[in-house]
Structure 1
């Protein structure tokens, strides 16, 4: 593996772990604030990725590494436990908890976008290659700014992806909790039962099929603001 590949892999791993950890820690923190300490007691109200890796070692570490070796991309998953009885009793709180994860990703993506804009304005970066996650911008000079360009490019692109994907309104994705903000208590309970059924696997398959049509125009538009 070349030195550039080592740098690229390391940046991917740092951004992937950081983004997934922030997503799950946000779920856990908001749940604790709203009355469910389950994830907090499990040690997941933290930006330290280790507790999250221990909970989902395959999805958080092994699969991302294997997928990167196979394709140059990292895919995986993570999770934060919650009390289903609490979610059933307080469906709106459960919805806010669910939406906290994508919100964290959008905040990180926005901060990285600001970093990219600053680097471009300061002459540290130049516009990169359209459609390449790790090269939204490229450094003008080699060295530290090469790593910064990759980290910010990945931080922007990957967190935008995570935020958009998780907002697709199919269970078990976070966006499926959106209706809970508006449904009555009785309808919320029925909806939650359906969401926890075997239909969740079907939801992932449907979301995976429609996601590129949703994400690509959003990403290309956001990327165009950096040119």
Structure 2
């Protein structure tokens, strides 16, 4: 039980920040390109309470962490926040601007992964103290969750960000046909997750990015 509480304490802040700032970034970029929907709904904010989904932000990550702690599992930790409302029809150039709105979330995760990586570097370079190990573990968790969310969301399947980026880049006819997958995207994602196919695709990409991050920051 102590191990579980410790795990949840270390991961809570990185998970909440990773998920909520990802969503806020979508809203901010949508406003920049002409759609004020998220802004009017009060969703362009750093207040995590405005973005938290009780199931996706709290329950699902907690259950995955609990299972990993109790059974030494190696599953992909993931979750989601309340989607930021975006009216793509109100963007200045809907098809082209969709790319930047979609890419904003993964880009926010990239920046957070770099930030946590810098904190990890500081922790490992600091003399051992009362807070050194917890800071190092939290920074490591921050890198992990942001790398997972970045790579997962870039998977080219609507309604994931990667799917919307693909719709933006494809020719109009193909884009329209590909976008029709969106209602089935989440069930497809769950099937890929629970059959292990998603992990087989994403783990190598996450490992490569983690290696490049370590190489760049020198740890």
What range is the shorter-chain TM-score in?
0.7 to 0.9
> Aligned-pair distance for 1:52?
1.0
Q: Write out aligned runs for 1:16-31 (5 A).
A: 16-31=15-30
Unaligned runs of 5+ in 2: 70-74
> Aligned-pair distance for 1:188?
3.6
Q: Write out aligned runs for 1:66-215 (5 A).
A: 66-72=63-69, 74-78=77-81, 79-86=83-90, 90-120=94-124, 123-124=125-126, 141-185=128-172, 187-192=174-179, 194-203=180-189, 205=192, 207-215=198-206
Unaligned runs of 5+ in 1: 125-139
Structure 2 equivalent of residue 132 of structure 1? none
> Aligned-pair distance for 1:199?
4.7
SS in 2 for 1:25: helix
Is the 1:172–1:203 contact (alpha carbons within 8 Å) kept by the matching residues of 2?
Answer: no
Question: Is the alpha carbon distance of 1:158 and 1:38 closer, same or farther for their aligned partners in structure 2, counting shifts above 3 Å?
Answer: same
Structure 1 equivalent of residue 43 of structure 2? 44
Please report the RMSD computed on the Cα atoms of aligned residues, expressed in angstroms: 2.7
Is the 1:170–1:207 contact (alpha carbons within 8 Å) kept by the matching residues of 2?
Answer: no
Q: How many residues align?
A: 206
CA shift digits 1:73-112 (9 cap, x unpaired): 8532222222254479611111210110000000011122
Structure 1 equivalent of residue 72 of structure 2? none
> Aligned-pair distance for 1:148?
1.4
Is the 2:27–2:44 contact (alpha carbons within 8 Å) kept by the matching residues of 1?
Answer: yes
Is the 1:92–1:180 contact (alpha carbons within 8 Å) kept by the matching residues of 2?
Answer: no
Is the 2:151–2:206 contact (alpha carbons within 8 Å) kept by the matching residues of 1?
Answer: yes
**How does the TM-score come out when normalised to structure 1?**
0.77
> Aligned-pair distance for 1:213?
3.1
Cα separation, 2, equivalents of 1:152 and 1:75: 17
Cα separation, 2, equivalents of 1:75 and 1:203: 12
**How does the TM-score come out when normalised to structure 2?**
0.80
Question: Is the alpha carbon distance of 1:200 and 1:58 closer, same or farther for their aligned partners in structure 2, counting shifts above 3 Å?
Answer: closer
Is the 1:171–1:203 contact (alpha carbons within 8 Å) kept by the matching residues of 2?
Answer: no
